Structure 1
Amino acid sequence: MTAPLYVDRDSVVHRIPPGYKVLSLVVVGTVVFLIRDWRILTGILVVVAALYLLARIPWRTAVRSIRPGLFMLVFFFVVAGLLTDWLSATLVVLRLAALLLVATAVTLTTRTSAMIESLERALYPLRRVGVNPEKVSLAFSLALRFVPVVARITLEVREAQRVRGMDRNLIAVALPVVIRTLRMADDIADAVDARSFGG
């Protein structure tokens, strides 16, 4: 079973307007990639993790939501460590982990429809420079919906590889997940084109 995209709770985090949450996601995503000290990044992780307690998100739900991402973080850590050095790999993983935790916190405490509406309103003034708010919001919506789908694909692949005794092989699990996800994205793009969206 995949984790829900939204958990209904009455908390301070839930009551924050969707626009501010999306903005905070952008800010954190920018800031963490400018920081080069692993201790500061670790502190940011602790602060972000505290948001889950403040939002009253059940720990089982939180773990289930980030579990597929944790697997990919291990994969990135090993690859980055082998290609560069382990300190650089640690920085990469801490940055991605912070971004993962913030993004998951936003999706668990904000209804998808509210986020999309807020995003469209924010992008509306950019129509003058050629930005299509509907297309951007569609891409954002699809990205959110990919989260539980990719989680399900990851679980299916791991179950299939466990039968073969290869569930602990990162390449054997990650490669099929990436291929299936890209195929699914291609199918969705063809479906959008077939409906002449934005044409």
Structure 2
Amino acid sequence: MTVLTGAYVARSSPLHRVPPGAKVSALAVACIGLLWVRTPQAVGVAVAAVAVLYGIGRIRPREAWSQIRPLRWFVLVILAVQLLITDWVTATSLTARIVLAVALAGLVTLTTRTTELMAAMERGLAPLRRVGVDPARVALMMSLAIRSIPVVASIAGQVRDAQRARGQERSIRAFAVPLVVGVLRYADTLGEALQARGMDD
């Protein structure tokens, strides 16, 4: 079941050697920092920084593109909607922040084994046992959430391709309905996989 496996690329790099917990913490801080990326200059600096990190991680361009490619139609829709309600600077900075956040999450999964990522999350959440929280389940949910971002974006891309083939590029309903159905089917498949592993409760 591919949704339960990561996109880890076995390679020797400084980022691969960084402890998973540190990478997850850095990801959270970076995503918060992206909230302040609001100007074209700031977007340029953020893009350059992410590109440098991919270089440090020795991630090839094709592997990096695989993390962003599923977002292409989703990003275009968001950009179009934002352009209708805001100015172009706000619209582009918002879409850029989304892409950069996904790219950073993708970099974490590309340089960290899923098992190590889940173990790090579980250790970080261990204190929550005192209030009745199961760290293992929360870690699994967070790991799946990270991996689900490109999956959902890929579904959006497929819907967009089908929409364009039917000549309905401008129909919001023709995009939204199949997208919701596709995501629900994915959720059902994921639920069945978890149930098969005894995690249905």
Q: TM-score, normalised by structure 1?
A: 0.82
**Partner Cα separation in structure 1 for residue 200 and residue 133 of structure 2:** 12
Aligned residue in 1 for 2:96: 94
Q: Distance in 1 between matches of 2:171 and 2:141?
A: 29
Closer, same or farther: CA 21–100 of 1 in aligned 2, 3 Å: same
State how far apart, in whole Å, the 2-side matches of 1:8 and 1:170 are: 42
Cα distance, 1:145–1:29 mapped onto 2, change above 3 Å: closer
Evaluate the alpha carbon distance shift between residue 23 and residue 90 of structure 1 in structure 2; reply closer, same or farther with a 3 A threshold: same
Per-residue deviation at 1:41?
3.0
Give ranges in structure 1 of 5+ residues lacking alignment. Answer: none
Distance in 1 (CA, whole Å) between partners of 2:28 and 2:61 is 25
Cα separation, partners in 2 of 1:160 and 1:40, compared to 1, 3 Å: closer
One of 112, 132, 135 as aligned partner of 1:133: 135
In structure 2, C-alpha distance between the alignment counterparts of 1:123 and 1:67, rounded to whole Å: 32
Change (3 A) 1:32 1:120: same
1:169 Cα offset (Å): 4.9
Distance 2:37 2:149 in 1: 26
Amino acid at match of 1:140: M
Matched, 1:34 2:42: no
Quote the residue 2:49 is aligned against: 47
AA at the equivalent of 1:61: E
- 1:1-199 matches, within 5 Å, as 5-147=7-149, 149-150=151-152, 152-166=154-168, 169=170, 171=172, 172-173=174-175, 175-185=177-187, 188-189=190-191, 197=199
Tell me: CA distance 1:158–1:48, structure 2 relative to 1, closer, same or farther (3 Å): same
CA–CA distance in 2 between the matches of 1:173 and 1:61?
28
Q: CA deviation at 1:144?
A: 3.6
Q: Percent identity?
A: 42
Over aligned residues, Cα RMSD in angstroms?
3.0
- 8 Å contact from structure 1 (residues 45, 97) kept in 2: no
- Work out the CA distance in 1 between the residues paired with 2:59 and 2:45: 20
Given that 2:68 and 2:99 are in contact with CA atoms closer than 8 Å, whether structure 1 keeps it comes out as no
Shift of 1:158: 4.4
TM (norm. structure 2) is: 0.81
Q: Determine the C-alpha separation between the residues in 2 that align with 1:30 and 1:118.
A: 20
Counterpart Cα distance in 1 of 2:191 and 2:102: 25
